[in-house]
Amino acid sequence: MAQVLEFKLPDLGEGLTEAEIVRWLVEVGDVVAIDQPVVEVETAKAMVEVPCPYGGVVTARFGEEGTELPVGAPLLTVAVGAPEGASGSAAFPSSSASPSSSGKGSGSGAESSGGSGNVLVGYGTGAPAARRRRIRPDRLDRAVAEAPVSGAPVVEVLVAEAPVSDGPVPVVSPLVRRLARQHDIDLRRLAGSGPDGLILRADVDRAIRTAEETAAATARAAQAPARSRAKPSTPSAPVAAAPNGVAAAAGAERIPLRGVRGAVADKLSRSRTEIPDATCWVDADATELMAVRAAMNAATGPSAGPKVSVLALLARICTAALARFPELNATVDTEAREIVRLPGVHLGFAAQTERGLVVPVVRDAHTRNAESIGAEIARLTELARTGKLSPAQLTGGTFTLNNYGVFGVDGSTPIINHPEAAMLGVGRIMPKPWVHQGELAVRQVVQLSLTFDHRVCDGGTAGGFLRYVADCVEQPAVLLRTL
């Protein structure tokens, strides 16, 4: 007899508490194997494919694409094991042969139906799965065969006890019952559109819309006589205001702050609230740096190597500058009222993607040369563009490099990437008139800006850091002192 197991959204690590469903990888009625990815979710830090620890037939999916679910909320249910009366070949792949249970002697029945245990950080299936009420095989077969597999709301076929009043109500999903209770919908008055007259969520949603339209029409009819009796000089009512005081203009679009955009909003707001930042900037002649890069990339023979980007050279300059000014490779412990200077440089760099702004981190950048840093930046940038960065690759930075020059702008005052202490911003490199060796000439000029936490250092330290970076840009040979 089939056992229906519920798979919940696992702990995704890094302190994340919710995720948004981006794309379902399975449909109701599909047969899934143990550890097969079943859904793609987006957290505040990355896109993650979530594997299911059970093998069997998907009987329900909880949530449509775009729905945000908290950790621990049901994702889907899987019917594990063969129905009674099945032939020698099981109708569903059983999870009893999972690697976690093999080689452990005779286990319990609950253990034999457990999953692989290989879900995500902080989530395991080694413990016996919570037992759910079983479904009659004929009901399960009909539900799987007739369940919708398109964009229509998916029916949950997990059996729930129905309150009896003048006969049973044909509702299986507890979520559908709760939705009906929240909107005072009498399920006995609804005709279900599912198998055997089953009441689906779509039926309840339709009833809710009908009730709302009826209530709105009644309200308009009640207001009509009052408007007809009103005096012509009566001023119009003020525009209704939203709870936060923003006028609710007709046709205004409200976009939820969630996912990457929500995480960015929270981090930037916290940075502005907690960090007393200051910014200094300087123009630098990058002509020599561009010439050195061209020479490096034009090298042939044994000395040839991968192309080195300007961002990689600037990153290497940053690591050299932080070695001279370690005060900026730090963070502030507000509870202990201490400045924590960090031993290694984990260099973040801002990358704009279709999902929004992300900051991948080059680990141990202080131990890498320009070629190694460039290769890692290219690898992380490709992962960012495809949405495959893991949370670990987006956290733990100690200093950030922001190349906003790619947007065609000269300068900016960056917001520090909390809880770091500084960020270097780089504008576009473009030809400008410049006094070079006492004469006016056209040179490749770039504006550099440093935003720093005034708690970790004074302006002299910040100015010294920025001046050293500018000197390395203008005279790359300065870097030879640290190689």
Active site residue 454: yes
Active site residue 346: no
Q: pLDDT category, 91, cuts 50, 70, 90?
A: very low
Task: Provide the sign of the torsion angle of the four alpha carbons 432, 434, 436, 439, taken in this order.
Answer: positive
The model carries a pTM of 0.56
Residue 164: pLDDT over 50: no
Q: Which residues contact 212 (CB under 8 A, 6 or more apart)?
A: none
Catalytic residue among 186, 366, 454, 471: 454
Q: pLDDT category, 247, cuts 50, 70, 90?
A: low
Q: Given this model, what pLDDT does residue 98 score? A: 41
pLDDT, mean over the chain: 78
Q: Given this model, what pLDDT does residue 428 score? A: 95
CA–CA distance, 423 with 417 (Å, rounded to integer):
7
Query: What are the phi and psi torsion angles at 336 (to 5°)?
Result: -85, -10
Residue 165: pLDDT over 50: no
Residue 111: pLDDT over 80: no
Q: pLDDT category, 173, cuts 50, 70, 90?
A: low
pLDDT: which is higher, 141 or 200: 200
pLDDT: which is higher, 482 or 306: 306
CB 387 within 8 A of CB 41: no
Say which residue the tokens 């490096």 belong to: 296
Three-state secondary structure of 287-314? HHHHHHHHHHHHCCHHHCCCCCCHHHHH
CB 342 within 8 A of CB 420: no
Q: pLDDT category, 289, cuts 50, 70, 90?
A: very high
Q: Given this model, what pLDDT does residue 168 score? A: 57
Catalytic residue among 138, 196, 364, 458: 458
Closest CA to 281 of 467, 10, 54, 3: 467
Q: Given this model, what pLDDT does residue 1 score? A: 60
